[in-house]
Amino acid sequence: MSNNTSIRRHTITALVDNEPGVLSRVVGLISGRGYNIESLNVGPTQDPTISRMTMQVPGDDRVLEQVTKQLNKQVDVISVTDLTRESFLNRECILVKIAATRKNRSEIIELADVFGGKVVSVQNDSMVIQLVGEQQHVADFLKLVAPFKILDVSRSGVIAMGKE
């Protein structure tokens, strides 16, 4: 058992039965222990009877270990993995509406291109960029476009998968 009591963001995936009520039970178990779920994404796997939940939960290692054990005891939970210390892939999709004028529009488009983003809508005074990438990549893009004035952001939440 780790003696590390520092707060960190844990990326947890759970394979669960794709049935009504499973999501609320899992979320209730985590929130019932005083943890906030910063990001939550749920979707079916290659097997339509099973869903993958990906959660990002801040907390210390000791208590998160207990949450993982409790999740594993749930009847509807097939397996739980804390990817935090493993090698894993993560992606997030965002739509970000940015204030844009004729003068700065090309600069915003250039930034989007550098980050692999795509302009999906253009209005007289704004534009919407779609970007998919690792969580840090998305965060870096948002920092760089912030001076243009971000009008709205919609984020998918992180999806993750272990490399092994």
Q: Specify if 20 maps to a domain.
A: yes
Residue span of the structural domain in which 94 resides: 89-162
- Section 24-49 average pLDDT: 90
Q: Last residue of a domain, which of 56, 85, 114?
A: 85
Q: Specify if 129 maps to a domain.
A: yes
Q: Specify if 34 maps to a domain.
A: yes
Q: Are residues 97 and 153 in the same domain?
A: yes
pLDDT attached to residue 1 = 41
Residue 4 pLDDT > 50, yes or no? Answer: no
Q: Specify if 17 maps to a domain.
A: yes
- Section 17-44 average pLDDT: 90
Residue 44 pLDDT > 80, yes or no? Answer: yes
Residue 2 pLDDT > 50, yes or no? Answer: no
- Here the CATH number for the domain that contains residue 25 is 3.30.70.260
- Section 117-131 average pLDDT: 97
Residue 156 pLDDT > 60, yes or no? Answer: yes
* Phi, psi angle pair for 134, to nearest 5°: -60, 155
Q: Last residue of a domain, which of 34, 55, 85?
A: 85
Q: Specify if 126 maps to a domain.
A: yes
Q: How many domains does the chain have?
A: 2
Q: Are residues 93 and 81 in the same domain?
A: no
Q: Are residues 60 and 103 in the same domain?
A: no
Q: Last residue of a domain, which of 85, 111, 126?
A: 85
| 81, burial (CB in 10 Å: exposed 0-12, middle 13-18, buried 19+) | middle
pLDDT category of residue 8 using cuts at 50, 70 and 90: confident
Residue 67 pLDDT > 90, yes or no? Answer: no
Q: Which residues contact 111 (CB under 8 A, 6 or more apart)?
A: 117, 141, 144, 145
Closest CA to 30 of 2, 6, 53: 53
Q: Specify if 155 maps to a domain.
A: yes
pLDDT attached to residue 5 = 57
